[in-house]
Amino acid sequence: MSVTDDVVRSDLTPVGGRPALGPYLLQVWRRRDFAFSLARFRLEAENGRNRLGLAWVVLRPLMNAGVYGLVFGFLLQTSRDVTDFIAFLVIGVFMFEYFSTCLTTGAKSITANTALVQSLSFPRMTLPLALVAERLLQFLPMVAMMGGVAVLHGHPPRPQWLLLVPLVLLFTVFNTGLTLITARLTVHLRDLTHLLPFVSRLFFYSSGVFFSIEKRLADSGWLAAAADLQPIHEFLTLARSILLEGPDYAMPGHYWAYASAWSIAMLIAGVLFFWAAEERYGRTD
C-alpha cells in the first residue's frame, strides 16, 4: 500500500487545503468573535491617533457632503431637481460611503494581512468579514446622522423609519458579497486595487448621489429602465423614501425585490468565489 493510499484511507487533508463548504462556513462562524474584535480594534486604531478620534467617522462624510453640495448643488444647480436637497444629498453620500469603503478597502483585506495569513491557520474569509464589520460600525453613526438631518428638514420620525433595519441588513449583505469577490481578485491581480477607485467613481456618478436620476432620465426610456436595475441607486432611493416625505420620495416597492435579489445573489457568488481559492491565499509563488 502506498503513502497516497494511506492518506486517502485515513481521510487526511493537506496543510492549508480547502475544506468542504459546510465545515468551512462553520469554522468562519466559530471565529465571529475574532472578526468583530478585529473590526473594533482596527476602527479604534484608525481614529485613535487623531485629536477628534471617532468623531471623524461622521465628520469625514459630512465634509464630503458639503463639498458635493457646493459643487453640484450650488454651482451646477442639481438642487433644482429635488426638494430638501441637503437631506437628499447627505443620505446619498452616507449610503454611498458605506459601499465605496467596502469596495476599495475590502479588496486589500487579504493582501494587506499577508503575514497573518501565512503564520496562522484560520478561515481566510474571516478577514474580509472583519473589514465589512468595521465599515458597518462606521456606518451606524451615519444612519443616526441621516435621521437627524431628516428631522432638521421637517421630516419627523414615523413608523416607516423601522424599514431602515432591513435596508441596512440588505446593504450589508450586498457589500459583504462584493468584498469577498474583490478580496480574492486582488490576490490574483494586485493591479486591481488601482482600478477600483475608478469603478467606485463610476458608480458614484451613476447612482444619483447628488441628482435625481428619475427626473434627469425621464425622457430616456431604456436608460431609466437600466437605472432601475442599478443596485446602489436602488439602495439610495429606498433610504430616501424611508426617511423623507413628499411626492419626490414615494417608495418604489419593486426596489425591495430588486435589492433583495442583488444582495442574495452577490453574497452567494462572493462566498463560493472566495472559498474556491482558500488554499491559495498566503502563497508566495
pLDDT tens per residue across all 285 residues of the chain: 554 554 445 444 555 567 889 999 999 999 989 888 888 888 777 766 666 556 666 777 777 777 777 776 666 566 666 778 888 988 999 999 999 999 988 888 888 877 788 777 788 899 999 999 999 998 998 899 999 999 988 899 999 999 999 999 999 999 999 999 999 998 888 878 888 889 988 898 888 888 877 776 666 667 767 777 889 999 999 999 999 998 888 888 899 999 999 999 999 999 999 999 888 886 645
Distances (CA, A) of 53 to 40, 135, 142, 211, 231: 14, 16, 15, 32, 32
Query: For residue 7, what pLDDT is reported?
Result: 42
- Joined grid coordinates for residue 250: 414615494
Query: For residue 45, what pLDDT is reported?
Result: 76
Give the DSSP H/E element, type plus range, for residue 174.
Answer: helix 164-188
Contact present, 94 and 210 (Cβ < 8 Å): no
Nearest of 140, 86, 95, 85 to residue 238 by alpha carbon: 95
Contact present, 58 and 145 (Cβ < 8 Å): yes
CB burial of 217-246 (b: ≥16 within 10 Å; e: otherwise) equals: beeeeeeeeebbebbbbbbbbbbbbbbbbe
Query: For residue 122, what pLDDT is reported?
Result: 82
CA distance 99 to 109: 15
* Domain coordinates in residue numbering, the chain: 35-280
CA distance 191 to 14: 30
> Taking phi first (over 0 means left), then psi (-120 to 50 degrees means alpha), and beta for anything else, what does residue 19 get?
beta
Contact present, 195 and 259 (Cβ < 8 Å): no
CA distance 151 to 171: 23
CA angle 104, 107, 112 (to 5 degrees): 110
- Joined grid coordinates for residue 188: 490574483
